[in-house]
Amino acid sequence: MAYRIQGETGEWEVVVGLEVHAQVISNAKLFSGAATAFGAAPNSQVSYVDAAFPGMLPVINEFCVEQAVKTGLGLKARINLRSIFDRKNYFYADLPAGYQISQYKDPIVGEGTIVLDLSDGGTREVGIERLHLEMDAGKSLHDQHPSKTYVDLNRAGVALMEIVSKPDLRSPEEAAAYLRKLRTILRYLGTCDGNMEEGSMRCDVNVSVRKVGGRLGTRTETKNVNSIRYVQQAIEYEADRQVKLIEEGGQVVQETRLWDPNKGITRSMRSKEEAHDYRYFPDPDLLPLVLEQSWVDRVKQTLPELPDDKKARFMADYGLSAYDAGVLVAERARADFYEAVAKGRDAKMAANYVIGDLLGALNKTGKDIGESPISAADLGGLIDLVTDGTISGRIAKDVFAEMLETGEKPSVIVEKKGLRQVTDTGAIDKAIDDVMAANADKVAEYRSGKDKLFGFFVGQVMRATQGKANPALVNDILARKLKG
Amino acid sequence: MTKPTRLTHLSMAEALEGLKAKDFTAVELTRAHIDAIADLRGLNAFITETPDLALEQAAASDARYAKGEAGPLDGLPLGIKDLFCTRGVLTTAASHILDGFVPPYESTVTSNLFRDGAVMLGKLNLDEFAMGSANITSYYGPVVSPWSPGRKIQRDAGTTAAGSELLEGLRQPRPVTEWEWDRRLVPGGSSGGSAASVAARMVMGATGTDTGGSIRQPASFVGIVGIKPTYGRCSRWGIVAFASSLDQAGPMTRTVKDAAIMLRSMAGFDPKDSTSVDLPVPDYTKALTGDIRGLRVGIPKEYRVDGMPAEIERLWQQGMDWLKAAGAVPVEISLPHTKYALPAYYIVAPAEASSNLARYDGVRFGLRVEGKDLKEMYENTRGEGFGAEVRRRILIGTYVLSAGYYDAYYLKAQKVRARIAQDFTSAWDKCDVILTPTAPSTAFAIGDKQDDPIAMYLNDVFTVPANLAGLPGISVPAGLGSDGLPLGLQLLGKPFDEETLFRVAGVIEQAAGPQPLPPVHS
C-alpha cells in the first residue's frame, strides 16, 4: 500500500533519503592507535593525535579501510580504488583540530543497492549513493557543571562510515525496513554493531513532499534521530508539517532540523543561510588512498554469505516461504541457529519450531537468539523425539515449555516426567475398550452412521493416556474396533 | 696539542675530530657555546636556552666517547628552531598562543638528532608559526642579524645572565653583555634565530624548516649553508605545522659538509608521517667529491626577474663561471610558470595554515582568554594569541577556501602548482641541477618592508618553486654584496637527489673561498 498524505488539495507522497553514520568495528581509531571501547572513563582513550596537539599527524588505520570496503562490497557497491580524505573545517570544543577528516568529492565507495524485505513478503530495491570514511568528534557534556561544558574525547577520531541512500524511500515503513536491512547487512559483515542506543548507528533524515508523481519538493534534513521508531515518527511528522505548510501557502525552506524525541516533533536548527561553510579541501597530511584491485578481491573472498543470498538459499534448499526465510535470515545468529536445527532433519518442521515456538517465546521476554535458554542441539533433539515417535507433537509442546523454563535436555524431561509415547498395543487396546464401554451410546450412534464421532473417541483415548498414546496406533485400532 | 682558543669557531666536522681525538670534551665544547650564547643575547636568537640540559647531554656524550660508543653527531651543540616539539621543553612557535606549552613528546627529527648524540643548547627564535621572511613577526621580538653594525657595551651589572644561574661554571656574577646597534639588520626568516645563531657561532648547527624559503633565504642573508631536502625526506611529525604540503625540515650550518653530516641524522622514513618517504638515507658526505665534470647545470631564464640588482646578476654569473671552471656544462632552461609560483604559494600556504591553526582555540593547551561563551572565548583567545601576520594569513586562507571562491583560488593554485612541478620534470631532461640566486637582495633593516606584505613576500620569489614542486634546494654562501652583506646561490635538484646538491654546493663553497666573519666577531 502506497503511503499517502491526505491534504486539503489532494494526495501527497513523501520522498525520503537517509544518511546513516555507522561506527566501524575496530580496536583502534581511524587515524590513531587509541582504543575505541564503549563506556570507558572520560578522556581515557585519547592520543595526542585525537587531541590535535601541535605537530601530530594522522595515519590511516588499514583495518578500518578494509571494513569500509567490506561494507561497500556487502552493499553491492562500486569500490573506488582511489579516494581522497578531505578536511571539513568548523570550530567546536569537541572537535580538537578544528576540522573533521572526512571524504568529500572522492569517497571510498560509490553507488550500490539494498534490497528491502517488505511486510507483505515482497522486496524493493533502494539505491545507495555513496559510503565514505570519516572520524567522529568528541562529546560535549553540558550537564556536569553549572556554568562550564566538559569535553570527552574518547569518541574523537573513532571511525565512522557515512552511508547515504538515494531519495528512493516513499514511506516511514520503507525507511524503517531500509534501516533494519542495512543493520542486518552491517552485522552480517561484522563492520558495525548497529546499536542505535549506544550511538554506534545514527541517522539523519532527508524529507520532502510532492503531489503524487510531481516534481521533487524542497527537502529538510533532520539530525540525530537515534532509533528506527523515531525515524518513522520524524518522517511522519515532517511530511505532515510540510504538506500543511505548503497548503497554507507557505514554502518549505532548505534547512537543518533537530528531532525532539520527547515532544515527537522536529525543530529548526539552522537555515541554509546560516549553514556552515565547511571549506572542504584535501587533507595535505594524508596521501590519496589507493587500493589494489587484487586486495579488494581478497577482501571480497572473506565476505560471509549475505542475507539476500541466504534467504534465496533457504527458500531453494529448505523449501521455506519467502516470509519464513526472511524472518530467519534477519539475524545471522538466527539463521545459523536455524541451520543447526535443520541439519539432517525436516527443514520445514525445524522452521516451525524455530520461528513459531522459539522466536515467539523469546520475543515475549525480549531476548534475542543468542540468549536462548534452548540450544540448537536440544531443539533438534526435541524434533528427533517427535520424528522417531518417542513423543507426539502435542507432548512436544509441553516438553518445549519445560525446556524454555529449565534449559534441560528434551530427553531428560521426557524420561523424568514419563512422557514417552505409548506404542504398546495392549495398553492402547485396553484404553479403547474402556472408552467404548463407558460410551456405549456414542458407539451405537457411530455405528449407525455418525462418522463424525470418530474424533470424539480419539480425544477420549488420548485423554485417558494423558496424550502419550501414539496417535497413529490409536487411529488404527479405534477404527478397527468401532467397526465391530 | 693545545686546545683551540675558539671552540665555537670550529666546523661540526672539525669538532667531531677534536672530540674523537680527545683534544677537548663535549662539556668544554658545550660550555664554550653557552658562553657565546650569553655574550650574544643581544641578537635575540633564542626563545628558550637550555644550558642545564645541554651540559647533561654533553656529559653523557663524553661518557659515550670514553666507552667508544659515540654516535655520528656525538657532543655537537646545536640549536633547535622553536617549531620542533621537544619533550619537557617549552615549545612556542614564537607565538603568544602557545604560552606555556611544554610538549610531552619529542619530534622525530630532534629524536633522530639526540639518537646520534647531539646536544641541544635551546630553542631558537623564528617568525610566528614560521610565517615571515625577516624574523620580525615573532611574539618574542625580532632577531638581529650578526651582520648588523654595532658594538658591545660591557656593563658590570653584578647580576648573572638570565637563565644561567644553574650553571656550575657561571655562578660568579658576570658582566651582562649588551649591544648597541647602528642599524639592526634582519637575519631573514622564518628560521631567523637558526641563521643568526649559526652565523654568530652560538651553535654549531641548527634545525630549520622551509615552507617557502625559510631555510635558504636566511642562510643567504647571514652567509651560511641551508638545505631544504625533498618533501618527504624528513619527518614532519612533531613539527608545528604551517602548510603541511610544503613544510620540510633541514639543517643550517656553516659548511656544506656539516649540512651533509647533519641531514643524514635528521632524515629518514617515519611511519608516523604518511607523507614521509621510505627510501634509504645515504651518507651525504660521500657525495662531496668535488667532481662535477660533465654535469649539466640549468640556468632558468625566467629567474631574471625585473628590477633584480645587477650584483645579484653578477653573482649568479660568477657561480656559473665557477662551475664551468670545474667542468660542468651550463644549459639554458625554461621554467615557464615561474611567475605564477608566488601567487600560487600565497594561496596554498595560507589555505593550509588557516586549517592547521584552527587547533589553537584555547580549549586544550596554550593561551586561553575567557569570554562569556565558547564563541567569545575563541575570538578573545585567537585575537590576542595570534600576531598580525598570522591573522592576515588565516584570513587569506579562510577566504580562498570559502564556498564560491574555492575554484577560482585554491583549485586554480593547485593547477598552477602541478604546472610548476611539470616545468621541473621537463627541465630534468636537459639538466642535472639548477643554479639560481637564493634571494633577490641582501639583508634589509628591521622595519623595512614591514608595512608592505607584497614586497616582503617577494623575498621568496626564487625559493618558493622548490616547495611547490617538493624538490630539494640548497643555499650556499657565494660572497658579499656591495653593501658588505652576504649573498647566497641556490641549487635545485631532482627529487631525493640531495647528493648532487651537496656535491655542486661543495664546489661553489670551495671556489668562493673562506667567508668573512660577521661584524659581531670582528
User: Counting one residue from A and one from B, how many pairs have CB atoms under 8 Å apart?
Assistant: 98
At residue B345 the predicted structure's pLDDT band, cuts being 50, 70 and 90, is very high
- In a domain, residue B361? The reply is yes
Looking at residue B293, which CATH number applies to its domain?
Answer: 3.90.1300.10
Q: Same domain for B304 and B449? A: yes
Q: Same domain for B267 and B324? A: no
At residue B397 the predicted structure's pLDDT band, cuts being 50, 70 and 90, is very high
Q: Same domain for B383 and B415? A: yes
Active site annotation includes B214: yes
- In a domain, residue B281? The reply is no
Q: Which residues of A touch B274 (CB under 8 A)?
A: 57-60, 285-287
Q: Which residues of B touch A277 (CB under 8 A)?
A: 402-403
Q: Which residues of B touch A149 (CB under 8 A)?
A: 374
pLDDT at B161 over 60: no
**A284 close contact with B: CB closer than 8 A:** yes
* C-alpha cell recorded at residue A89: 573545517
- In a domain, residue B2? The reply is no
The distance from CA B457 to its chain's CA centroid, rounded to whole angstroms, is 17
pLDDT at B142 over 90: yes
**Chain segment A469-480, per-residue pLDDT in tens:** 888 888 888 888
Non-local CB neighbours of A406 within 8 Å, separated by 6+ positions: A373, A413
* C-alpha cell recorded at residue A272: 541554509
How many independent structural domains does chain B possess? 2
Q: Same domain for B322 and B359? A: yes
Q: Same domain for B98 and B234? A: yes
pLDDT of residue A118: 82
- In a domain, residue B10? The reply is no
Q: Which residues of A touch B241 (CB under 8 A)?
A: 54-55, 285
The listed range with the strongest mean pLDDT (A395-409, B247-261, B307-321) is B247-261
- In a domain, residue B8? The reply is no
Q: How much is the mean pLDDT over chain A?
A: 93
d(CA B417, CA B465): 9
Q: Which residues of A touch B410 (CB under 8 A)?
A: 281
Section A411-424 average pLDDT? 84
Q: Same domain for B270 and B325? A: no
The separation between the first and the last C-alpha atoms of chain A, rounded to the nearest angstrom, is 59
Q: Which of B107, B243, B363 sits opposite A55 (nearest CB)?
A: B107
Q: Same domain for B130 and B48? A: yes
**B415 close contact with A: CB closer than 8 A:** no
pLDDT of residue B1: 39
**Chain segment A293-333, per-residue pLDDT in tens:** 999 999 999 999 999 999 999 999 999 999 999 999 999 99
Non-local CB neighbours of B79 within 8 Å, separated by 6+ positions: B45, B46, B120, B121, B122, B123, B124, B193, B194, B197, B198, B202, B203, B205, B206, B207
d(CA A91, CA B358): 7
Short-list B131, B83, B129, CA closest to B346: B131
Q: Same domain for B385 and B424? A: yes
**Chain segment A172-210, per-residue pLDDT in tens:** 999 999 999 999 999 999 999 999 988 899 999 999 999
- In a domain, residue B314? The reply is yes
pLDDT of residue B153: 86
- In a domain, residue B308? The reply is yes
pLDDT of residue A92: 95
Q: Which of B227, B246, B276 is the last residue of a domain?
A: B276
At residue A360 the predicted structure's pLDDT band, cuts being 50, 70 and 90, is very high
Q: CB B374 to CB A93 under 8 A?
A: yes
B205 CA: distance to closest CA in chain A (Å): 22
pLDDT of residue A83: 98
A32 CA: distance to closest CA in chain B (Å): 10
pLDDT at B314 over 60: yes
pLDDT at B426 over 50: yes
Q: Which residues of A touch B401 (CB under 8 A)?
A: 89, 279-281
A216 CA: distance to closest CA in chain B (Å): 25
**B408 close contact with A: CB closer than 8 A:** no
At residue B172 the predicted structure's pLDDT band, cuts being 50, 70 and 90, is very low
At residue A419 the predicted structure's pLDDT band, cuts being 50, 70 and 90, is confident
Q: Which of A89, A92, A93 sits opposite B355 (nearest CB)?
A: A89
Q: Which residues of A touch B411 (CB under 8 A)?
A: none
B386 CA: distance to closest CA in chain A (Å): 15
**Chain segment B33-49, per-residue pLDDT in tens:** 999 999 999 999 999 99
pLDDT of residue B168: 42
Active site annotation includes B81: yes
B341 CA: distance to closest CA in chain A (Å): 19
**B238 close contact with A: CB closer than 8 A:** yes
Chain A's closest residue to B405, CA to CA, is A279
Q: Are A469 and A462 in contact (CB under 8 A)?
A: yes
- In a domain, residue B103? The reply is yes
Measured over the CA atoms of residue B391, residue B392, residue B393 and residue B396, the dihedral's sign is positive
Question: Which range of residues forms the domain containing residue B394?
Answer: 286-475+482-521
pLDDT at A383 over 50: yes
pLDDT of residue A122: 81
**Chain segment A16-26, per-residue pLDDT in tens:** 999 999 999 99
DSSP string computed for A259-302: EETTTTEEEEEEETTT------EE-TTS--EE--HHHHHHHHHT
pLDDT at B148 over 90: yes
Q: Indicate which of A31, A43, A53 best probes the interface with B, i.e. most B CBs within 10 Å of its own CB.
A: A53
Q: Same domain for B366 and B308? A: yes
Catalytic residue among B61, B81, B145, B197: B81
Q: Which of B236, B365, B402 sits opposite A277 (nearest CB)?
A: B402
Q: Which of A57, A87, A279 sits opposite B402 (nearest CB)?
A: A279
Q: What is the ipTM of this complex?
A: 0.94
pLDDT of residue B175: 55
Quick one: what percent of chain B has pLDDT higher than 90? 90
Q: Same domain for B359 and B487? A: yes
Q: CB A54 to CB B275 under 8 A?
A: no
**Chain segment A133-156, per-residue pLDDT in tens:** 999 999 999 999 998 999 999 999
Q: CB B401 to CB A58 under 8 A?
A: no
Helix-helix angle B108-115:B256-266, to 10 degrees: 110
d(CA B413, CA B352): 12
Q: Which of B238, B363, B403 sits opposite A55 (nearest CB)?
A: B238
Helix-helix angle A471-483:A425-438, to 10 degrees: 50
Section B143-167 average pLDDT? 69
Which chain A residues in 127-156 lie under 8 Å from chain B, judged by CB atoms? 149, 151
Q: Which residues of B touch A92 (CB under 8 A)?
A: 374
- Burial zone of A212 (CB within 10 Å; 0-12 exposed, 13-18 middle, 19+ buried): exposed
Short-list B260, B193, B188, B205, CA closest to B229: B260
Q: Which of B225, B250, B276 is the last residue of a domain?
A: B276
Q: Same domain for B271 and B381? A: no
Whole-model pTM: value is 0.91
CATH of domain A425-483: 1.10.10.410
Q: Same domain for B268 and B320? A: no
> Domain-by-domain residue ranges, chain A?
5-299, 304-417, 425-483
d(CA A48, CA A58): 10
Active site annotation includes B375: no
